[in-house]
Amino acid sequence: LNILDHRTGERRRPVRTDVEEAAVLMDALPEISFVMSTFLPEDVDPRIYDRYQMDAMLNHTSKPIVFVSPDFEGCVAAVEMCEVVAGGVEAFQRRPFATCYINVTSGLVANAEALQKCMYLAGKGLPLLYIPLNAGGVNSPTTTAGCMAAMNAGILLGVVLAQLVREGTPVAVPGWNGGPYNLKTMVGNYVLADEQGVATEMGKYYDLPVFGLGGATDAKVLDQQCGAEVALSLFTALLHGANIVHDIGFMDSGLQGSLQLIAICNDLIGWLRAATAGVVVDEETLA
């Protein structure tokens, strides 16, 4: 992952301070409700980079955290760090302020690490995000319906597994699917018009919280394409009813992040919330 440096305007590789600055920024922005690391720091030990991400977030925000770990050991380490901050295992279980975004290979193939994380978190009574995604034309049909059907099989696997380990485990499911890939370049569009509605509706059909996507763009710079795609993706996430919306500030098909774009998205989210909040009509407002 790269960063579009807001100080120089140049694209470069991210470092630990970028993760810290992202956490500080998101903590300060009023329309951002939770924090993710945004960047993969490259000036730390690559085997445990996720521990540095978690450290940066725990030390620079008081908002809820969604973390990602490349392996099972990283997930355990993140939970243990949270337990220390919370004041103990039971304290974190009573008020879990962080949850793991579990990346699953695909709807029809579950990697061992994903299943380990799911069972571990469920066993501790902690919430989790179980996210199997397909790549249309690569590991699933290219059509939206076919891609979603394959992904839904994996979603149900994760939900059932978590409930078998501990009934009542909170599980959030994806509010978007992988969509069709360009089989010449093997790049998938990050923002598609038809990829969010079906997945979000399926999650709501099962009465599960939905982990949506918005505020992202395929653009590489802060241009007209960028503005249109982040605004439309935030609007569709709101329109479809996603409960948690992530990837704000992501660019270049998920290969780049921008603190400037996160700030822009904050204002767009505020506008959308105001536009859909309704109007209070009472004696005082009519005066």
pLDDT of residue 159: 98
What's the whole-number mean pLDDT along residues 132-155? 88
pLDDT of residue 226: 96
What letter does residue 264 receive in the DSSP assignment?
H
Beta carbons within 8 Å of 149's beta carbon, 6+ residues apart = 141
Confidence of residue 147 (pLDDT cuts 50, 70, 90): confident
pLDDT of residue 136: 82
**pLDDT tens readout for residues 25-70:** 999 999 999 999 999 999 999 999 999 999 999 999 999 999 999 9
With CA atoms as reference, report the closest residue to 13 among 51, 42, 38. 42
pLDDT at 180 over 90: no
pLDDT of residue 192: 72
**Fold of the domain built from segment(s) 2-286:** TIM Barrel (3.20.20)
**pLDDT tens readout for residues 150-166:** 999 999 999 999 999 99
What's the whole-number mean pLDDT along residues 100-125? 95
Confidence of residue 127 (pLDDT cuts 50, 70, 90): very high
Percent of the chain whose pLDDT exceeds 90: 83
What's the whole-number mean pLDDT along residues 221-238? 95
**pLDDT tens readout for residues 9-18:** 999 999 999 9
**Cβ atoms within 10 A of the Cβ of 62, count?**
9
Q: b vs e for 16-46, b when ≥16 Cβ sit within 10 Å of the residue's Cβ? A: bebbbbbbbbbeebeebebbbbbbbbeebee
What's the whole-number mean pLDDT along residues 205-223? 95
Whole-angstrom CA distances from 7 to 3, 158, 172, 258 are: 11, 42, 36, 11
Query: What residue has token string 């400037």?
Result: 260
pLDDT of residue 193: 67
With CA atoms as reference, report the closest residue to 243 among 194, 206, 271, 275. 206
pLDDT of residue 143: 85
pLDDT of residue 258: 98
pLDDT of residue 50: 98
More confident: 196 or 168: 168
pLDDT of residue 74: 98
More confident: 145 or 49: 49
Confidence of residue 194 (pLDDT cuts 50, 70, 90): low
pLDDT of residue 1: 83
What's the whole-number mean pLDDT along residues 230-259? 94
Q: Side-chain half-sphere of 29: how many Cα atoms within 13 Å?
A: 24
What's the whole-number mean pLDDT along residues 254-273? 97
pLDDT at 133 over 90: no
**What is the domain partition of the chain in residue ranges?**
2-286
